[in-house]
Amino acid sequence: MSAPAFDYVVIGAGTAGCLLANRLSADRHRSVLLLEAGGPDSYPWIHIPVGYLYCIDNPRTDWRFRTEASPGLNGRSLLYPRGKTLGGCSSINGMIYMRGQARDYAQWAEATGDAAWTWENCLPDFRAHEDHYRLDASKLAASGDLAAFSTLHGSGGEWRIEKQRLRWDVLDAFALAAQQAGIPATEDFNGGDNRGVSYFEVNQRSGWRWNASKAFLRPIRKQRSNLLVWTGAQVCRLLFEQDADGVRVCRGVEIVQGGERRTVRATREVVLSAGAIGTPQILQLSGIGDAALLQSHGVPVVAHLPGVGRNLQDHLQIRSVYKVHGATTLNTQATRLLGKAKIGLEYALKRSGPMSMAPSQLGIFTKSDAARAHANIQYHVQPLSLDAFGQPLHDFPAITASVCNLNPTSRGSVHIRSADFSDAPLIAPDYLSTEEDRRVAADSLRVTRHIAAQPAMARYKPEEFKPGPQYETDEQLARLAGDIGTTIFHPVGTARMGAASDETAVVDSHLRVRGFRGLRVVDASVMPTITSGNTNSPTLMIAEKASRWIAAGQ
């Protein structure tokens, strides 16, 4: 039986893959196959915002990767969640809508030598799929800054952005304390300079999670016969041929589905959108990567591209916990049976309350020290506390102020463990491996203490429970960061784009894999440097831009 053929085969139905499938299948004359190793996004907890607690580290929705033991984390290994379901990480992430800073994209343009990646040239690709609540027809009259806001944001697109559906007095106080510490309030984190304090905006619709599958796939799957979506289809390797001129061309993929191996052919392009972990793994299994690594695992070398799997960057969050007095927090609400019942009833009736919560509510972007030119640390502030993810909430009222270095200089790697596609790769983020990152970690903990000590928080008598006020020196604080730091789930950079002269770049500025035809990477792995904030929305922007290039054959 001959292998089925499609114009485009997209690998990975995550954030980027869902948008690509939507855009590429808009031309009814071109066929698209979207492959997803996980299952459909039918698990109810995917769609209830607080359900991330039940989706992360759940084999139904998460790859459940773990990192290698890290010296920077004092020998610890971390759970490394990655979405394994339709919608990918957008089905299990924190739902925070964040673009980063304009300077991030200037760095991308410089790294690639392509002005297509400047902030000004990325704005249309952000706006193209957005549906921002502040631009709803009902809000037009009330929005005095509508004209300026609409130049930055879009309406009527698939990607819904809403304000959160609850507030907490203790977080309002923390926001005021941040302002007393010299951090201005902001109305919009997404205008190019995100310095300030505000509640995060989230990807939700009326209290439900709004994932990429719901946004980009569900409205079109039954209407477009030229789009097929296969779940439970894990890619083993890419398939290559040589053109008459000797150029290698990606002609298809080999997958395992339902326990059987099968081959699928692509007549135009194969697009890798398996994410910063899955994409380098598939490339290496297919013989594209560092030749010495591939040979050590018995993988025939197709192309020596040493940058594949290198340049891994992530945001490491350092969680400070403060006991508070006289405050309502989720700890006090959710540890009692009556409190749980009230929470469930409020969500059932109003789609609001703690069950509509994103993992983090209040955001702060500021400098770790005054000498910085830009905000270089980000806070995710939560009205709850626990010892570690998956552990029960503390039985005392508390808040958590997690802070991360937005621009880490540490670089890690993702490498195959063997030639077996079913073996999870070796993930080594190498957090806190540079003196710069250790200094920012220590300074950021001091910034947290400075905010908590402001008059606005005095009524709650905050007590530093974790890491503890007895730790004060740079050395002590940097070591503590290694003891308590954990990923905030933003891996990028492992198949980075770069200029033609950059031998470590994996793809060019149009995301084509170097030395190949018919093979492109479109996901967070192409970022040369991590964005200054959450990475989900920038990934959608990348896919929006790439979809036009792919359709045009550019």
What is the length of the chain?
554
> Which phi and psi angles does 488 have, rounded to 5°?
-105, 15
Contacts of 286 (CB under 8 A, 6+ apart): 237, 238, 240, 302
Separation between Cα atoms, residue 68 and residue 350, nearest integer Å: 43
Strand duo 227-230 + 32-35: pairing? parallel
Element (DSSP H or E) covering residue 130: strand 130-132
Q: How far is CA 466 from the centre of its chain?
A: 26
Tokens standing for residue 449: 């203490």
Tokens standing for residue 433: 């491996």
| Residues 249 and 241: beta-carbon distance below 8 Å | yes
Strand partners, 161: 132
Active-site residue list: 490
By three-state DSSP, how is residue 232 classified? coil
252 φ/ψ sector (left φ>0, alpha ψ -120 to 50, else beta): left
Separation between Cα atoms, residue 471 and residue 460, nearest integer Å: 22
Separation between Cα atoms, residue 198 and residue 362, nearest integer Å: 6
Strand partners, 466: 321
Closest CA to 526 of 214, 213, 118, 108: 108
- Which stretches of 434-517 are DSSP H helices? 435-452, 474-484
